[in-house]
Amino acid sequence: MFRETTVNTALVAILVAVPLVAQAAGEPFIITLATKVAIFAMAGVGLNIALGYGGLVSFGHAAFFGIGGYAAGILASHAQSYTPLMTWPFAIGGTQQMLIIWPVALAASGIAALVIGALSLRTSGVYFIMITLAFAQMVFYFAVSWPAYGGEDGLPIYVRDKFPGLNTLDPLQFFAVAFACFLLAVLVSVVLSRSRFGLALQGARQNVERVRAVGIDPYRLRLVAFVISGMITGLAGALYADLNRFVSPSMLSWQTSGEIMVFVILGGVGRHFGPLAGAALFILLEHELGSVSEYWQFLLGLLLLLVVLFAHGGLIGVLTRRPHRD
């Protein structure tokens, strides 16, 4: 079969080729789909750091995805209405600059991940899954019941946020922004997984006591991983808000957490480009089968079942015939 690098290169090449061909064919909707794949894959890359390397089954990553999205939405809405975000102790206005929105999204999701992680990581196993879910639901209900920013109806971003030198309203240019962010996230995940930190994180997944025996505190190790994981997913959320020019509590819902997890599991847990394979297949199924039947998720479920039962390395594992990471 194929080497993992070959598969990864092919996946990235397809992701780049599809919007270019779509542009030539005058199909902007396909470019939007490819952008969605890049953004979902990035959210998955974030979760993969916690789930794939740390073995932390977080069922609450929608919280970070949504918080990143709301960071973009709230800043943009203040900029659009020319109202300050806050006036005390100092005045802060809104902005439509992605280069300002992104650090805010990263910081907001990072702080949320720090708080949620600090409490959740005191538990493990099924309790960890439940407590991350519970936190995400808290954020979800908070967003639903917060009228200032649209509550249940969500918050529109009338004009897509700006990036210096680019016209983000052009689908292909916005794709380029999302794609670059995705690649950067993968790079972070690769560097992290090969560092001493990342190796210890993978060690802790197998045996916590052995990690302690070499002088590393597994709690801190996992907390840092969880925060980085949440931040990457948060940045993906900010991009997703800009893609749709709309933020709503559905970004924070537990279905979103489940979908991000599906990208990771479908593609191959703990593989750098697994989330890309997973997100691409997800979008493909949603698009192709969604037009055939509204019950397309039944087939997605079936596929997920097959992957979990028979293909432990996910799609990448099937293509490389290597159930385990290289």
Partner 1 sequence: MSALLELSRVTAFYGESQALFGVDLQVGEGEAVALMGRNGMGKTTTIRTIMRMLRHSDGSIRFSGRDLGPLASHRVARAGIGLVPEGRRCFAPLSVEENLVSAARSGPWDIAAVTRLFPRLGERLSQKAGLLSGGEQQMLAIGRALMTNPRLLILDEATEGLAPVVRQEIWAAIRDLKSAGLSILVVDKSIRELASVADRCVVLEKGESVWAGATGDLTHDVTARYLGV
- Which positions touch partner 1 (CB under 8 A)? 196, 199-200, 202-203, 206-207, 209-218, 324-325
Alpha-carbon distance values, 121 to 57, 139, 200 (Å) = 11, 18, 16
Q: Which is nearer to partner 1, 216 or 281 (CB)?
A: 216
- Closest CB 220 distance from partner 1, rounded Å: 9
- Judge if the upstream peptide bond of residue 89 is cis by omega within 30 degrees of 0: yes
Q: Which is nearer to partner 1, 287 or 312 (CB)?
A: 312
- Closest CB 317 distance from partner 1, rounded Å: 14
First to last CA, the chain: 14
Displacement of CA 47 from its chain's centroid (Å)? 6
Token pair belonging to 23: 């542009």
What proportions of the chain, in percent to the nearest 5, are helix, strand and coil? 75, 5, 20
Q: Which is nearer to partner 1, 206 or 291 (CB)?
A: 206
Token pair belonging to 315: 């799609």
Q: Which is nearer to partner 1, 152 or 217 (CB)?
A: 217
- Closest CB 193 distance from partner 1, rounded Å: 10
Q: Tell me how far apart the alpha carbons of residues 170 and 294 are, in angstroms, rounded to a whole number.
A: 30
Residue 288: what residue type? E
**Helices 171-194/218-244 angle, 10° precision:** 170
Q: Which is nearer to partner 1, 84 or 323 (CB)?
A: 323
DSSP state of 56: -
- Closest CB 324 distance from partner 1, rounded Å: 7
- Closest CB 120 distance from partner 1, rounded Å: 20
Q: Of 75, 76, 40, which is closest to residue 61 (Cα–Cα)? A: 40
Residue 55: what residue type? G
- Closest CB 121 distance from partner 1, rounded Å: 15
Token pair belonging to 195: 């560092």
Q: Which is nearer to partner 1, 153 or 217 (CB)?
A: 217
- Closest CB 264 distance from partner 1, rounded Å: 17
- Closest CB 305 distance from partner 1, rounded Å: 25
Q: Are 180 and 35 in contact (CB under 8 A)?
A: no
Q: Longest C-alpha distance within the chain, in Å?
A: 61
Q: Tell me how far apart the alpha carbons of residues 205 and 21 are, in angstroms, rounded to a whole number.
A: 42
Q: Which is nearer to partner 1, 76 or 200 (CB)?
A: 200
Q: Which is nearer to partner 1, 178 or 192 (CB)?
A: 192
Place of tokens 């933020």: 247
- 245: number of Cβ within 10 Å: 16
